[in-house]
Amino acid sequence: MARRFGPYGGAYVPETLVPALEELERTWRSARRDPAFRAEHARLARTLAGRPTPLYHARRLSARAGGAEIWLKREDLLHGGAHKFNNALGQGLLALRMGKPRLIAETGAGQHGVATAMIGAALGLSTEVYMGEVDMRRQRPNVDRMRLLGATVVPVTSGSRTLKDAINAALRDWIANVRTTHYLLGSAVGPHPFPSIVADLQGVIGREIRRQSRAAFGRLPDLAVACVGGGSNAIGTFHPLLRTDVELLGIEAGGRTGRGAASLGRGRPGILHGALTYVLQDADGQVADTESISAGLDYAGVGPEHAWLRDSGRVTYRAVRDAGALAAFHWLAEDEGILPALEPAHAVYAAVREARRRPARERIVVTLSGRGDKDLEVVLRADRRRA
């Protein structure tokens, strides 16, 4: 069962969870072959989620950069305001197929929690979302949205009280309630088969980029850029492009000082949340604290497929600091009338830097994985500190 990406991945979990992971893998394999499941998934993706999302030529942002054209894959226009609904929809339908009446989820920035609450309401499933207290404070609008959607939001007070600790709490719940509960894991992390399922469900992003870029400018882009925390929007962008000549660039959070949450840049292999991957660790091998202005990138690990793509050299990974993300937030707001989430603002900053050094004939596509409504208080507070 324990699929790996090179040496990474696997399923390092308590024995209690092995049957649940095997059931999930069997159900996913069966569902992918079932025309009725595929038809229902496609119907809801179109009518509830709002797919396909558009590919947008950011002309004024491109002019600011000078050089290559910048195009935005508008996942911020998906139902709920982020790419997270792609995964929540698919896994919600799997929970129904397995006869599990209860969903649990973890969330950092709150977008996955919102997406889980939305699909739970739409499918009639009870929903609880674990969220660190630090993230609850800085992402208050999403906490309110989850509660209005009928979900119970459970504050996590242990550890750093951020995403890592929310995943720990959700895993403990799943172990205790595995017969009735599906853990709707929100990123391409965790034990097999979660990284593969999330990559499959988020792969719609890259498949649409392939189709839409050919329609928009007659070929595939020269470069695709996406932010990387756990890595779900990035793996969804990259996966369908791996066997092409498109350059792939993943952007991690550098935080205030460059330490941040860049596990691929500064981590080393270790086991976190049931998988072998790159993990930020202290000298004793304990999971290190992280910091980022973006709650969704504030995570000490990364999906195991990203670890393999880093080692293989197929994808380049870099870090962008908080100041760069804030600058890009304002650029996109003032140039294009779009408020990006702080997570993809890191990728926008990197794309502008890349555009400046590339010729005008090149095309760069950035996955705008979420919108910035949730981050307004964070941005305004940061602006006041800098004033």
- Catalytic residue, from 106, 252, 305, 343: name it: 106
- Report the alpha-carbon distance of residue 32 to residue 20 in Å, rounded: 18
- Report the alpha-carbon distance of residue 181 to residue 95 in Å, rounded: 8
Known catalytic membership, residue 158: no
Single-letter amino acid, residue 113? G
**Torsion, Cα of 351, 110, 375, 121 (10° steps):** 110
H/E stretch holding 283 = none
Known catalytic membership, residue 336: no
β pairing state of 247-255 and 316-321:
parallel
- Catalytic residue, from 84, 100, 164, 374: name it: 84
- Report the alpha-carbon distance of residue 362 to residue 382 in Å, rounded: 34
**Do the Cβ atoms of 80 and 114 come closer than 8 Å?**
yes
Known catalytic membership, residue 305: no
- Report the alpha-carbon distance of residue 61 to residue 342 in Å, rounded: 17
Residue 76's contacts (CB-CB under 8 Å, 6 or more residues apart) are 82, 338, 340, 341, 344, 368, 369, 370, 371
- What residues are labeled active site? 84, 106, 369
